[in-house]
Chain A
Amino acid sequence: MSQTDDNKIILKVTTQSGEKHELIALDGWRAMEVIRDYGLPIKAECGGACSCATCHVYVDAKWQDKLFPPTEEEEDMLDEAFEVQENSRLSCQILMSEALSGLSVTLAPGSEPE
């Protein structure tokens, strides 16, 4: 990695059972890919194609406005998720960048692997 400690991109993840983790994300990676790469429990069964809603997360309120708003495709796919809230997103549609360092998400019910 070329990034120094100072500009590491941090992704904070709370699992479905409440465990907290701080992950180092890579620029341009999808949040889902980072979570999966660390071996945290995320089903993400379509592999990032916005086609299954099993990477559903709740975004911490103070980060909601800093993300690109969901596309119509993501909104449609959220219809197949459960317990959808105002701050619900599909983590495969969140591209990590320096601007998002510190982003905090919680894995939603239904995102657990089998």
Chain B
Amino acid sequence: MSNSPSVISQNPGEHHETDVIIVGAGPVGLFAVFELGLLDLKCHLVDILDRPGGQCAELYPEKPIYDIPGSPLVSGQGLTDNLLAQIKPFGAKYHLAEMATALEKTDAGKWRLTTDLGTTIEAPVVVIAAGGGSFQPKKPPIPDIAKYEGSSVFYAVREMEQFRGKNILIAGGGDSALDWALNLHDIAGSLALIHRRPDFRAAPDSVNKMRELVTTGKMELIVGQVGQLHGDDGQLSSVTIKTKEGEFSRDVDCLLPFFGLTMKLGPVAEFGLNLHENLIPVDTEKFETSEPSVFAIGDINSYPGKLKLILSGFHEAALMSQQAFRICRPDEKLRFQYTTSSTNLQKKLGVR
């Protein structure tokens, strides 16, 4: 694992007021904290992942990136760590593992953002830096699977007790699949792990433990893939299993598929921002959306000539911040300063 600077997430369910709400804690959202911070604007970031970094942290933490200006080579996690170090002086607040679900105007003319865990944040300015949307579990393209979701098919385990005594089928070969197989086997009625091949990418220690449980008959390992689901009223009763040797049916009460995450636009689509092909149109002066004081920066916006590059998002963050200042501090004069020369900026950065 990396030695990322630690980020403390706020307790969910509380109310906050700030200058700018940033939806998305990927590289562009993080850099927005820097540009806004230089203008003394305080930020709260909301992200569905449990750590900052967005795609850089979730999709390619170890992959080299070669097109960050001034960094000939940096990994996704390295870039995230550098950005976290760079914005540390500004004390942004993080709401991680929370999904921004609703955006509305308050009577006082501010924006109120609500999350799926009941957190509310109010601010005069909202910045959507949500990249390709929110990371959500991949759903197997099995006919009718939606009918069973939440009652028999689960993409996460919140309450272990609900699985007591059940015939559980866990699908996948990564750490989530293995961890839950190890954790649930002794409360399950029966537990089988189904994976497409005999090799696993999960941590070798977990794989060894799983094989031991299989050897001692405490769980089963099936090399194959899930076919059709059978049941009534959202209650699964059996699953057709496809193996190289052929198909067979297995009694199953609960199916837990763990195939990693994928990006879905999610509730941002309902924020009333005139989406075009799942992107948010903005102007190229302020990167403001159709809704005044709501901005969109990074991969999620669109304008003529847009390139989905991290560096474009950084530029957009800088220009957006100028307008955010005018909205948040209408009576103050906006001064353009350089970090190389301004003692005022250097004090904010804690280097003077």
Binding site for B on A (CB under 8 A): 43, 45-46, 49, 51-54, 75-76, 78-84, 109-110, 114
Chain B's closest residue to A86 (CB) is: B244
Give 20 pairs: A residue, B residue, CB < 8 Å, sorted on A. Answer: A45-B59, A45-B132, A45-B263, A46-B55, A51-B59, A51-B60, A52-B260, A53-B260, A54-B262, A76-B201, A79-B195, A79-B197, A79-B200, A79-B201, A80-B172, A82-B140, A84-B196, A84-B225, A114-B133, A114-B278
List which B217-265 residues lie within 8 A (CB) of chain A. Answer: 225, 259-260, 262-265
Task: Name the B residues within 8 Å of A49 (CB-CB).
Answer: 59-60, 63
Task: Name the B residues within 8 Å of A54 (CB-CB).
Answer: 262
- Cα A46 to Cα B63 in complex, Å, equals 11
- What are the 3 A-B residue pairs with the smallest beta carbon separation, nearest first? A76-B201, A80-B260, A109-B141
Taking A75-B199, A79-B201, A114-B278 as contacts, is the C-beta distance between A46 and B59 under 8 angstroms? yes
Taking A79-B196, A80-B174 as contacts, is the C-beta distance between A52 and B140 under 8 angstroms? no
Task: Please tell me if the beta carbons of A79 and B59 are within 8 angstroms of each other in the complex.
Answer: no
Besides A79-B200, A82-B138, A82-B225, 20 more A-B contacts (Cβ < 8 Å) are: A45-B262, A45-B263, A46-B55, A46-B60, A49-B60, A49-B63, A51-B60, A52-B59, A53-B260, A75-B197, A79-B173, A79-B195, A79-B197, A80-B174, A82-B141, A83-B141, A83-B225, A84-B225, A110-B138, A114-B263
- Cα A89 to Cα B271 in complex, Å, equals 38
Q: Sort chain B's interface into a size bin.
A: 20 to 34
Task: Name the A residues within 8 Å of B278 (CB-CB).
Answer: 114
Task: Please tell me if the beta carbons of B196 and A52 are within 8 angstroms of each other in the complex.
Answer: no
Say which residue of A43, A75, A76, A80 sits within 8 Å of B259 (CB atoms). A80
Task: Please tell me if the beta carbons of A110 and B201 are within 8 angstroms of each other in the complex.
Answer: no
